Amino acid sequence: MFPPGAAPALREVPVTLTDRIDTLVTPTFRAFLTADRAVRVAISQGNGDAANVARSAAMLAARQASAEMHRLTDAVHFERPVWLPEGLLTAAAVRWWVQEHYCRRLRSNALSTDLDLLDDIENALKHIELNPRKDPRRVVSEKAVLASETGYGGGEFCEGVYDGAEQMIVTLTDGTKRPLSAILQNCLDAWTLAAGRTLPPIEQ
């Protein structure tokens, strides 16, 4: 029991998109980037045991960052911010609209479907193995999200770390390998722009 007046103040649950971005999404994204980087540091130091511990921490951080990013779709669908057009009656419709208008590949003019990809990733992490569906998923198994070496030329142009260094990779059903950091960055940028905010420096 706390003495009178000494109980800690309860923190309010974030209620707006910007609150969620600032207090849940961005912190878990940064934590994932730090954990992913720690794997490479341990490898560079030749410490195999530390590298294995770092890989486990990076996987946990990846799950947390993916979950919080993915949850933004449901939050926006429920909260109905003023910038969201009427008629988007499902979370999938909200995701599609934000993706079409704001999701780009690493701040280029190239359209990105990474909000849909994140939906597949999160479902794979949640359900281990996904059943086939009429609209094919690009990630169908928890095993497709793991730390591995991309190798030279193994990743998308300008995505991820250089020199084929180890990082958290998502392997799509067609064999394409994408750094999870790039996927999450594209998704965070899309939601940030949808909320009418200016993009911070990349990976921040």
Q: Report the distance separating Cα 183 and Cα 149, nearest Å.
A: 17
Whole-Å CA distances, 135 to 90, 95, 138: 17, 16, 10
Indicate whether 2 pLDDT > 50: no
- Global confidence as pTM: 0.84
- Average pLDDT value over all residues in the chain: 83
Out of 21-25, 145-149, 177-181, 192-196, least confident range? 145-149
Digit-coded pLDDT (tens) for 123-175: 777 755 545 554 566 565 666 677 676 665 556 667 878 777 889 888 888 88
Digit-coded pLDDT (tens) for 79-120: 999 999 999 999 999 999 999 999 999 889 999 999 999 998
Whole-Å CA distances, 95 to 43, 61, 63, 70, 139: 37, 23, 20, 10, 17
